[in-house]
Structure formats: structure tokens, C-alpha cells
């Protein structure tokens, strides 16, 4: 028996698109321990959904290993489906069934017996805050409520693992917060293993561990705190009056590790806060660029994410260049 | 143009809303809302789904008539001078239609044609838009095969092909990864620097932080209107406490129980990755009590400190009654 | 293959609720059936009654008058004008004033007595239905009118002339099963089959695709549901709906259109169920090949066209070249049409339709096999 709730090793998934082979997942390895909340984050098209589907056995894998609760994704697909709860990315419950009918349907296909259904369905509806909407058609629920219904349905068979594919996409901040609090409660009370894909950086901070996926590979796999720590240097933020000149200026400055744009503000990663702060202030003044709020701020997941992706891109480009030279 | 009421032209504000109300039957979607947006400002218009955001924008665009009150865009009354409003605004929503079987350039040309641009103007605008959207080298790529970030910048280019002075962006960045979002916001501020006024709605609170000023609407009512930094100081009802514990799941169960039995008046307590975030009226006062409670149940507290609220915290505090948060 | 009845029941319940909740679908299903039944059965009546006819009676005796009356009595012809000669009659047909012209030469009565009577019937060859109806009607009437007379010469170029014939043998034709040659009797059992084929193929094709388009399929695949359960859950509610439609159509056929049901109703329904299974299976095969509901509908429409043109419903298959015949063989209706007409009209038993039934059994097995091979319990 595998000690991991979810594991994948050198996972590869190729698609044939008009006779071209597209590699969506390219040698991805990850392990999720029981009770963890693992966030798979990455840009669009990085392979988040494909990875989730392959691990769950919804897509066949091209090569490599993957398993859930020790069951192989390809060979034991029904054992996995009996033990895992899943929320697909787009809303995918039958929209013309009511909330209650949806619950009964998923209870039925998961062979939950009648006694248990009577107990669990009201509990789950209360947990998801949907008790008073049990006769509403699923298609007529708001975005946030749909996601909560999907969560309730995916929990009807008391799974040990839930896999959620961008469950909060297009959901407003209030509903998003509620959804995450529900997940937190499940983690605290049931020790549920949660595997979640998300494009929201602030959501990544709510995971115990985060895997950053880029072009089908995990490029970082660590706790949010550690990921932010691996980003070298400190972060300065300010609002210049002349954006593009200030950007150019900072990019060319010694001690500046990286510059990111942030709306009308600039985010400058520097090796030494005091030295660089003065340096930037002087340079801006000499160019006659006004600025305000020049201060050090904390690195958030978003800055770390952008920095990591950039470095990954650069190293790929470098490798390509080395390859070309050779 | 002679038909314009003199008073209307007196308002030189790009966007001016006075006591705007819209009722659909018994339902009040927008309830006596007043605010204005200054020239060249980037204004964030935020609220949960169904709060009245889109209804407000539709009234500003003259697509629906207000029940009472007025909406002015560049001094034109949206309800009566709709054509003039349309000639001077750009509108990009999530559903903005790019023709995927046309090339990037053909799309710009199409929208230019719709807005009646002359061929000289069009040639100039195409060059400008291709350059600012960073679409050089992709002018003749079919839009369908562009990635999300490119498409979104192209959509913006098409929405502003006629050089509008005011631009409405309704959730323009939904489903776009952080890097592309940053580039998109660079474009927004580039427009703002050229004097274009931007009103943007979004579900990403980290993105809302990029706006110079934000308005929160909930239940049709404007509940907060200020700069982000000001809002963080004035609108947050509780304080946020970040608690690091040896066994966060257990700590969460204990604190949840304390919330339920009223021992500690948490507005909200939730797992936040490896930490717990708790929102409550007087954090300082209960710090000790929380620590003692957890230690008493054999949970080591490694850190317990007040953290600055995020805009999301502020938003949720503003739009929701504290007791309603899960 | 495991079949868990709780899962199957949950799936069937879901499908049934979805079908019943979709009022428009139900209305369309039943409404379209009725509309098709009416439209096809009325428009498919190809006998032309009360054709305007000109009469050139050069004989003007009692026998010729009786002959004209016999033609009028047949309901096929109405005398709208009397003319003087053949050229005037041709003129009237050219102008479209009449569809037919009867020219009776002088001394008709005497010739009838001598068993050497002849007459000329001119028919408007630009109207194929008028020619056919008029031709066969005039033949029958002439036969019945006098034992000596028959008109059996082909001249589709526009005129039928009967040559001087003496028939030593009396020709009698008796039309079995449908003595009045009522077209509806012929058409309705076939139309019912065609309606069922169209509905079953189309709906089965759409059903899986719709779940895929809604994204529901992904969520259902993530549960322990097995392939057989999923397929059955689609087919069973649809079969019930189709059988109801069949019952309604047969009832309409009997009570509204007055087409007597001569065979064993029980046998008919069992074989119809078999036919449905083959159609639904065919629909499933289509649904595994198409990506959108639109594609599914378009593919199903092709089968409807096949049904209309190539299965022998309106046009006899015996006269078709090989290729259209082979294409027609793909449509289950080709086989059911013979079963349906056999049991419905002729009242025959299984011993007469077993070969077609056997083909349908094989057909069903093949399409179900193909669809189960093609339908994967994964998304790719």
C-alpha cells in the first residue's frame, strides 16, 4: 500500500491534434500525503486540468506512473472513482435536476444506501448552506452556490480524497472565501486530502503545499512560505510619474534583481534594501521623475509566481541557445 | 449637437452618477447610487455577483433606462443621448467577441469599420494597437490560435479602436494567468496616462488593489468608495490575526468550537494554509485567551500576530454582515 | 461486466427526470409524431381522384353513355366538357383545362356487341400521378364495364390507345389486403416505422453528446458508473418514450385513419422494440463519432432521408440500382417496413417475418458491439 494519497512519477500525457503531438504533461512527479491541501497552480494551458484528469483516470496516460490511494490510475480506475470526490472545471452537474435530485443521483451512483442517504444529504446540504434551496434547479443557482453543490455532491460517498479543478473560477470573492472556509473545515474535521487546481495566487496561500506547474512540469513544490522565501532579495514598490523611463532605469541598475510591473506601480526586487532605495531615489530625482510611496513590501505568492515563471522561461531559452551553439 | 441640454455639458466629469436607481419589479438592483470618476482615473467597481455592478454599467452605457436618477458619461445623459455615449466609450466584457477565424489584424479592421473609421485612421490605429498590445509578428495569425493573454489584449485593442475617452471593462481578466494579467494592467495604465478614464470590474481582489480608487456595491447599495489604502484603514470592521500552531487542524477545531459556543467572538475563523486566520473586533484583547485555549489542549502556538488586512478581507467585511460568514 | 442496480436505477431516474422536465422536448416528441403522421399520410396519397375529363363521344348511343357514366362512378373522373373531335381534346389537355380526354369512336355499341370495341383515352403525361391513376382506373373500369373490353397498351408519351383486341380470357385483378387501394393503408404502417427510426436515431445520437456538451459526462465518468449502466440508462427511458409514441401512432392509424390492424398486436410491439433497439444502437454509434449536438442531428437527418427514399417506404426498392439498395440496407427501417406491413396489413405471424426479425437481431448486436467498443469510460 502506498503511503501517499496521490502520487505521480514521470507522468506524461500526449495529445494528437491534427496529426501533431502536443505534450500537455511532460514528466511530472508529485506526491501528496494524506491530510494535505495541495494546490496545483500555473498559467493557462500549463497542464493543470490534464494532470488532474490523468491522475483520476479520466484520461489515459501516455507513460509514467500515477496512483490515488495506492490504486493505479489506469488499471484500478473504478476503485479510484469509488473513493475520490471530483469537481470538474466547468459546471458539470445536470442543470435540470434540483439540488436534492442531484444529491440523490450522486448518492445512487456511489451506492450509498438509503439509511446513510437520509443522514448524509441533510448534513451536506446544511454544510454547504443549501438546505433552503433543495428544490431549486441546479442550473438556476448562482455561481458560488453551484460550486458548493458540486462540493456537497462530491462528498456524498465520504471520499478520502477530493480533487477540485479550478472550483472558484468566476466566483465572486465572498463565495470564494466561503468555499475555502468549507474546505478548511473538511480538512480540520475529517482530515480530508484536498488536491486543488487554481489560477488565483491568493488561494495558493491557503494550501499547505503548492506545486507550480509550467509547460507540463512541476518547477517548484513546497509550502507557500518556503516558495516566497526562495525568491532572492527584497521587494520595493513605488509609483513613478514616468512609468516607462523609470522601468528602464531600474532594469539597468546595479543590485536590481528583477523588475515587475504592477498597474501604475513598479515592483523592484533588490539585493540590499537601503542601498538600492537610495540609489533609486537618486536616479529618479536626477531624471526628473516624480514618485511616491517608495517602500519595501512583503513578497506575495503572485510576485513569487511571476518571478519563478520568468526564471524558468529564461533557463529554457538559455538551454536552447546553448543547444544552438553546440 | 445643438440639441444637447446646456446643463448636461456642464458636467465635465467622464463618469457622473447621481442618485441612480434601477428596479426590476419588486427587486431593486441599484439603489440610490452616486459617485463620479475623474479624468484619467482607473476606477475599480467591485461587488459580489448580483450586487448591481453590471446593471450600473448597462445604465451608463444607456442599454437600460434608470428608474430614477441620472448617469452621465462625458456630460452626455446615458438615457437620452445614448448614441453620443456609444461614440465616445469603449466597452469590453468577458463575452467580447473576437472572430476566431479572422486574423488579429482583420479583427481590428472589422471593429474599426463598425465604428466608421476612415481607411487612413484605420491604418494608423491598426499599427498602434498591434504595437501596444505586443502583437507584432502575430498580425496575421488567426485569432483562434492566439493564447488567452494575446486574445485579451487584442479584444481590448478592438474595444478601443475608435479612441474612446472612457472605457468600461467588465471582468476583462477572468481566466487569464497572472503574468498576462500584469501585462494587461500595464496597458490599462498606459491608456490612463493618455487621459482615458477606465472603469473596471473584477473578481480578483489582488487586481482591485491596482485601481486608484474603488467602489464596493452590495445589494444595490454603494457601501464604500475610496482609495485602497484608505479603505483598508477605514472599512475593516475587525482585525486579522494570524495564528501559527503545531497542529493547525486541531487548533482549527478548537477555535471553531470556541466561536460556536461564544467563548471568543470571532467574526470568521478559517484555515489558511499552515496558519489560521481569525477576524474579530479586538484582536489584542483576545490574543492571550486564544493562546491559553490552544495550549490548554496541547497545541503549541508558534506565532500569533496581527496582519494587515488584504483588500479581500476589507471587501468581505464591507459587503457582509459578520455573522453570516461561514 | 458488473451491473449494479442501484447505480442503474439512479441513472435511469436522472434521465427520466431530465426527459419529463423538458416540456418542450416532450411536446416536440409527441407533437412532431402526430404532425408527421398527418402530413405524410395525406401528402403521400398519390391517387388522383376527380380528374377533369373531356368526352368526345362520336357514337352517342346508350352503351357509350353508360361507359362514360361508369368512369364517372369510379370517382376518378369528372366530365367537365364535351368536345367534337380528338384535336380539340388534345387542345384542352395542352391548355390544362382537363387531365384526360375520352374519345369514343362511332358505332361503339355495335362494336361492343361484336367484341371489337375500342376507345381512346388521352392522359396528361406531364402529371405522372394523373397518368398512373387514370391509366389504372380506366383499365379497371373498362374491364368491369364489359368483358370484351380491356385497355392495356402503354404509351407514356401522353396517349394511351387501345388497339383492336378480342380477349378470349377474362382478366380479373383482385387487390388483396387493400381492396379499395386506399393509399393511407399502404403508407401508415411504413410512416410509423419511419417516425420511430428518426426519433430513436436522433435522440440516441444527441443524448450522449448533450451530456458531453454540458460537461455532465465528465462528472458522471468520475463516479463508479460502468459503461453498460450508462448506455442502458440512456436507452431504457428512450425506448419507453418511443414505445409510447408507437402506441399513440398505431392508435391514430386505427381510429383516425381507419387502417385496420390485422395482425397480432403483441408480436408487433415486440418486434417494434427490437427495431427500436437497433435504431437506438445506431444512434449511439453516431453519438460516439460526433462532437456536437448539431452534428448528431445532421447525421440523424441523413438516416431520415434514407428512410424516406431508400427503404421502400415510398419508392419500391426492387426498381433501384444496387448502390442505393445497399445504402438502404443500412437503415433498420428497410427490415421493419416489411415486418410492419406484414403484421399490420396482412396479419401474418412470425413465421412470415422471421428473416427480417433475425436481421434486426443481428443488426442490434452489431451496433451495440460497435458503440460499446467506441464508447470509452474516459474522456479521450
- For the stretch B185-236, pLDDT in tens is 988 998 998 889 999 998 888 888 889 999 999 889 998 899 988 888 888 8
Average pLDDT for C188-204: 86
> CA B220, B222, B224, B226: dihedral to nearest 10 degrees?
130
Contact A44 B176 (CB under 8 A): yes
Q: Which residues pair with A41 in a beta bridge?
A: A198, A212
Contact A188 B49 (CB under 8 A): no
Give the cell for residue A149.
453543490
Size of interface A-C (CB pairs under 8 A): 84
Report the distance separating Cα A182 and Cα A177, nearest Å: 9
* CB of A47 closer than 8 Å to CB of A213: yes
Q: In degrees, to the nearest 5, what angle opens at C-alpha C79 toward C-alphas C75 and C84?
A: 150
Report the distance separating Cα A41 and Cα A213, nearest Å: 6
Q: Which of C351, C186, C201 is nearest to C257 (CA)?
A: C186
| CATH node for B238-308 | 3.30.70.1510
* CB of B143 closer than 8 Å to CB of B104: yes
B242 contacts: CB under 8 Å, gap ≥ 6: B272, B275, B276, B277, B303, B304, B305, B306, B307
Average pLDDT for A270-281: 90
Q: Which residue in C has a C-alpha nearest to residue A162's C-alpha? A: C222
User: What residues of chain A, 71 to 130, have a C-beta less than 8 Å from chain B?
Assistant: 129
Its pTM surpasses 0.95: no
Question: pLDDT digits over B281-311, tens only?
Answer: 888 889 999 999 999 999 999 999 998 888 8
Going by pLDDT thresholds of 50, 70 and 90, the confidence category of residue C180 is low
Instruction: Give the number of other CB atoms < 10 A from CB of residue A52.
Output: 24
Contact A208 B273 (CB under 8 A): yes
Chains B and A touch (3+ CB pairs under 8 A): yes
What confidence score (pLDDT) does residue B257 get? 93
How close, in Å, is residue A310 to chain C by CA atoms?
Answer: 32
Q: What percent of chain C has pLDDT over 70?
A: 86
Contact A174 B211 (CB under 8 A): no
Question: pLDDT digits over C129-175, tens only?
Answer: 677 777 777 777 777 776 444 433 333 334 444 444 444 344 445 55
CA distances from residue C71 to C77, C319, C346 in whole angstroms, order as listed: 6, 31, 30
Per DSSP, which regions of chain C are E strands? 51-57, 77-82, 100-104, 120-123, 159-161
Q: What percent of chain B has pLDDT over 70?
A: 94
More confident call, C167 vs C362:
C362
Question: pLDDT digits over B228-282, tens only?
Answer: 888 888 888 888 999 999 999 999 999 999 999 989 999 889 998 889 999 988 8
How close, in Å, is residue B191 to chain A by CA atoms?
Answer: 11
Question: pLDDT digits over B74-108, tens only?
Answer: 999 999 999 999 889 999 987 777 888 899 999 99
Contact C224 A94 (CB under 8 A): no
Average pLDDT for A145-172: 90
Nearest Cβ partner of A143 from B49, B185, B211? Answer: B49
User: Residue B3: is its pLDDT beyond 50?
Assistant: no
Three-state SS annotation for A1-60: CCCCCEEEEEEEEEEEECCEEEEEEEEEEEEECCCCEEEEECCCCCCHHHHHHHHHCCCC
Q: Which residues of A touch B256 (CB under 8 A)?
A: 185, 188
Average pLDDT for B139-165: 87
How close, in Å, is residue B78 to chain A by CA atoms?
Answer: 28
Q: Which of A72, A58, A269, A276 is nearest to A163 (CA)?
A: A58
Domain segments of chain B: what residues?
15-232, 238-308
A104 contacts: CB under 8 Å, gap ≥ 6: A117, A121, C10, C13
Going by pLDDT thresholds of 50, 70 and 90, the confidence category of residue C104 is confident
Q: List the single best residue of B179, B210, B251, B253 to mutate versus A (max A Cβ within 10 A).
A: B179
What confidence score (pLDDT) does residue C162 get? 45
Q: Which of B251, B195, B272 is nearest to B41 (CA)?
A: B195
Fold classification of B15-232 is Rossmann fold (3.40.50)
Q: What is the mean pLDDT of chain C?
A: 80
Report the distance separating Cα B158 and Cα B170, nearest Å: 15
Q: What is the mean pLDDT of chain A?
A: 89
Going by pLDDT thresholds of 50, 70 and 90, the confidence category of residue B322 is very low
What confidence score (pLDDT) does residue C174 get? 52
* CB of C204 closer than 8 Å to CB of C238: yes
User: Residue B6: is its pLDDT beyond 50?
Assistant: no
Average pLDDT for C259-270: 87
Nearest Cβ partner of A88 from C9, C215, C377? Answer: C215
ipTM associated with this complex: 0.82
Contact B272 A184 (CB under 8 A): yes
Report the distance separating Cα C344 and Cα C281, nearest Å: 25
Residue C18, helix vs strand vs coil: helix
Whether chain C has a CB inside 8 Å of the CB on A84: the answer is yes
* CB of B310 closer than 8 Å to CB of B271: no
Identify residues of C whose CB sits under 8 angstroms from chain A CBs: 4, 6-7, 9-11, 13-14, 17-18, 21-22, 214-226, 377-380
Indicate the range of A19-33, C17-31, C362-376 predicted with least confidence.
C17-31
Listed ranges A188-192, C36-40, C57-61; the one with the highest mean pLDDT: A188-192
How close, in Å, is residue B284 to chain A by CA atoms?
Answer: 23
User: Residue B326: is its pLDDT beyond 50?
Assistant: no
Contact A111 C9 (CB under 8 A): no
- Positive or negative, the Cα torsion across B4, B8, B10, B12? negative
Q: What percent of chain C has pLDDT over 90?
A: 10
Going by pLDDT thresholds of 50, 70 and 90, the confidence category of residue A244 is confident
Average pLDDT for A253-258: 90
Phi, psi of C4, deg, nearest 5: -100, 120
Report the distance separating Cα C21 and Cα C31, nearest Å: 16
Q: In chain C, what are the domains? A: 5-40+183-374 (no CATH), 51-176 (3.40.1710.10)
More confident call, C104 vs C315:
C104
Residue A142, helix vs strand vs coil: coil
Q: Which residue in A has a C-alpha nearest to residue C23's C-alpha? A: A96
What confidence score (pLDDT) does residue A199 get? 80
Amino acid at each position: 500500500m502506498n503511503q501517499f494519497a496521490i502520487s505521480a512519477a514521470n507522468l506524461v500525457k500526449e495529445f494528437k491534434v491534427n496529426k501533431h503531438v502536443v505534450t500537455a504533461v511532460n514528466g511530472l512527479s508529485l506526491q501528496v500525503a494524506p491530510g494535505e491541501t495541495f494546490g496545483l497552480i500555473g498559467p493557462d494551458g500549463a497542464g493543470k486540468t490534464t494532470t488532474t484528469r490523468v491522475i483520476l483516470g479520466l484520461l489515459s496516460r501516455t507513460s509514467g506512473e500515477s496512483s490515488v490511494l495506492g490504486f493505479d490510475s489506469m488499471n484500478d480506475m473504478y476503485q479510484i472513482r469509488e473513493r475520490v470526490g471530483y469537481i470538474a472545471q466547468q459546471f458539470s452537474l445536470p442543470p435540470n435536476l434540483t439540488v436534492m435530485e442531484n444529491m440523490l443521483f450522486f448518492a445512487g451512483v456511489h451506492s450509498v444506501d438509503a439509511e446513510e442517504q437520509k443522514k448524509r444529504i441533510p448534513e451536506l446540504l446544511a454544510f454547504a448552506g443549501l438546505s433552503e434551496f433543495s428544490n431549486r434547479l441546479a442550473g438556476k443557482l448562482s455561481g458560488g452556490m453551484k460550486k458548493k453543490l458540486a462540493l456537497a455532491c462530491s462528498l456524498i460517498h465520504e471520499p478520502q480524497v477530493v480533487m477540485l479543478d479550478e472550483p472558484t473560477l468566476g466566483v465572486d470573492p465572498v463565495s470564494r472565501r466561503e468555499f475555502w472556509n468549507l474546505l478548511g473545515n473538511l480538512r480540520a474535521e475529517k482530515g480530508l486530502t484536498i488536491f486543488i487546481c487554481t489560477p488565483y495566487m491568493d488561494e495558493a496561500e491557503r494550501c499547505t503545499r503548492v506545486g507550480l506547474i509550467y509547460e507540463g512540469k512541476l518547477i517548484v513544490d513546497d509550502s507557500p512560505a518556503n516558495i516566497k522565501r526562495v525568491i532572492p532579495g527584497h521587494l520595493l514598490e513605488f509609483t513613478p510619474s514616468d512609468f516607462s523611463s523609470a522601468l528602464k532605469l531600474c532594469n539597468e541598475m546595479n543590485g536590481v534583481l528583477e523588475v515587475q510591473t504592477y498597474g501604475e506601480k513598479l515592483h523592484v526586487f533588490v539585493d540590499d534594501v537601503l542601498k538600492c532605495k537610495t540609489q533609486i531615489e537618486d536616479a529618479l530625482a536626477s531624471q526628473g521623475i516624480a514618485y511616491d510611496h517608495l517602500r519595501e513590501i512583503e513578497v506575495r505568492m503572485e510576485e513569487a509566481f511571476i518571478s519563478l515563471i520568468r526564471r524558468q522561461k529564461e533557463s529554457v531559452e538559455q538551454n536552447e541557445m546553448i543547444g544552438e551553439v553546440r | 449637437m445643438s440639441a444637447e441640454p446646456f446643463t448636461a455639458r456642464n458636467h465635465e466629469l467622464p463618469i457622473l452618477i447621481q442618485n441612480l436607481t434601477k428596479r426590476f419589479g419588486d427587486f431593486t438592483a441599484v439603489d440610490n447610487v452616486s459617485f463620479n470618476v475623474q479624468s484619467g482615473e482607473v476606477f475599480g467597481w467591485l461587488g459580489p455577483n448580483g450586487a448591481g455592478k453590471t446593471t450600473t454599467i448597462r445604465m451608463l452605457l444607456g442599454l437600460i433606462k434608470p428608474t430614477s436618477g441620472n448617469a452621465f458619461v462625458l456630460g452626455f445623459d446615458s438615457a437620452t443621448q445614448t448614441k453620443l455615449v456609444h461614440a465616445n466609450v469603449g466597452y469590453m466584457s468577458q463575452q467580447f467577441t473576437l472572430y476566431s477565424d479572422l486574423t488579429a489584424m482583420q479583427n481590428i479592421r472589422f471593429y474599426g469599420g463598425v465604428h466608421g473609421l476612415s481607411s487612413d485612421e484605420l491604418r494608423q490605429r491598426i499599427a498602434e494597437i498591434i504595437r501596444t498590445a505586443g502583437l507584432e509578428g502575430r498580425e496575421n495569425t488567426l485569432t483562434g490560435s492566439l493564447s488567452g493573454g494575446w486574445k485579451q489584449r487584442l479584444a481590448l485593442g478592438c474595444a478601443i479602436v475608435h479612441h474612446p475617452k472612457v472605457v468600461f471593462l467588465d471582468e476583462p481578466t477572468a481566466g487569464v494567468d497572472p503574468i498576462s494579467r500584469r501585462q494587461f494592467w500595464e496597458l490599462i495604465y498606459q491608456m490612463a496616462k493618455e487621459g482615458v478614464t477606465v472603469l473596471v470590474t473584477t473578481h480578483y481582489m489582488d487586481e482591485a488593489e491596482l485601481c486608484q480608487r474603488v467602489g464596493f456595491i452590495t445589494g444595490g447599495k454603494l457601501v464604500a468608495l475610496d482609495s485602497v489604502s484608505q479603505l483598508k484603514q477605514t472599512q475593516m470592521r475587525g482585525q486579522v490575526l494570524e495564528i501559527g500552531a503545531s497542529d493547525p487542524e486541531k487548533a482549527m477545531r478548537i477555535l471553531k468550537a470556541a466561536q460556536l459556543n461564544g467563548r471568543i467572538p470571532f467574526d470568521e475563523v478559517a484555515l489558511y494554509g499552515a496558519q489560521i486566520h481569525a477576524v474579530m473586533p479586538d484582536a489584542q484583547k483576545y490574543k492571550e485567551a486564544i493562546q491559553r485555549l490552544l495550549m490548554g489542549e496541547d497545541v503549541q502556538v508558534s506565532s500569533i500576530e496581527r496582519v494587515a488586512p488584504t483588500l479581500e478581507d476589507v471587501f468581505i467585511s464591507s459587503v457582509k454582515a459578520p455573522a453570516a460568514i461561514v | 461486466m458488473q451491473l449494479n442496480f442501484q447505480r442503474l436505477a439512479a441513472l435511469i431516474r436522472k434521465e427520466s427526470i431530465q426527459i419529463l422536465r423538458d416540456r418542450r422536448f416532450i411536446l416536440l416528441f409527441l407533437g412532431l409524431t402526430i404532425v408527421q403522421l398527418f402530413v405524410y399520410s395525406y401528402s403521400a396519397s398519390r391517387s388522383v381522384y376527380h380528374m377533369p375529363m373531356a368526352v368526345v363521344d362520336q357514337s352517342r348511343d346508350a352503351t357509350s353513355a353508360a361507359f362514360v357514366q361508369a368512369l364517372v362512378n369510379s370517382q376518378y373522373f369528372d366530365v367537365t366538357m364535351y368536345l367534337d373531335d380528338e384535336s380539340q381534346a388534345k387542345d384542352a389537355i395542352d391548355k390544362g383545362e382537363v387531365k384526360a380526354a375520352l374519345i369514343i369512336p362511332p358505332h361503339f355499341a355495335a362494336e361492343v356487341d361484336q367484341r371489337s370495341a375500342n376507345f381512346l383515352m388521352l392522359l396528361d403525361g406531364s402529371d405522372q400521378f394523373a397518368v398512373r391513376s387514370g391509366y389504372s382506373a380506366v383499365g379497371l373500369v373498362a374491364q368491369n364495364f364489359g368483358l370484351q373490353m380491356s385497355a392495356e397498351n402503354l404509351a407514356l408519351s401522353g396517349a394511351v390507345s387501345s388497339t383492336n383486341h378480342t380477349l378470349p380470357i377474362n382478366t380479373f385483378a383482385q387487390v388483396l389486403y387493400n381492396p379499395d387501394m386506399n393509399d393511407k393503408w399502404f403508407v401508415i404502417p411504413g410512416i410509423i416505422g419511419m417516425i420511430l427510426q428518426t426519433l430513436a436515431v436522433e435522440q440516441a445520437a444527441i443524448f450522449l453528446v448533450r451530456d458531453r456538451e454540458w460537461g455532465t459526462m465528465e462528472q458522471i465518468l468520475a463516479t463508479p458508473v460502468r459503461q453498460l449502466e450508462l448506455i442502458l440508462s440512456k436507452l431504457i427511458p428512450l425506448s419507453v418514450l418511443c414505445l409510447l409514441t408507437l402506441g399513440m401512432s398505431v392508435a391514430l392509424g386505427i381510429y383516425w385513419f381507419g387502417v385496420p390492424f390485422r395482425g397480432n398486436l403483441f408480436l408487433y410491439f415486440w418486434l417494434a422494440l427490437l427495431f427500436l433497439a437497433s435504431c437506438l444502437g445506431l444512434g449511439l454509434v453516431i453519438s460516439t463519432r460526433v462532437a456536437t449536438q448539431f452534428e448528431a442531428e445532421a447525421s440523424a437527418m441523413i438516416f431520415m432521408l434514407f428512410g424516406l427514399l431508400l427503404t421502400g417506404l415510398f419508392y419500391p426498392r426492387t426498381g433501384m440500382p444496387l448502390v442505393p439498395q445497399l445504402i438502404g440496407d443500412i437503415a433498420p427501417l428497410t427490415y421493419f417496413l416489411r415486418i410492419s406491413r406484414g403484421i399490420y396489413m396482412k396479419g401474418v405471424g412470425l413465421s412470415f417475418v422471421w428473416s427480417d426479425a433475425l436481421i434486426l437481431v443481428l443488426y442490434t448486436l452489431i451496433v451495440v458491439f460497435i458503440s460499446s467498443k467506441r464508447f470509452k469510460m474516459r474522456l479521450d
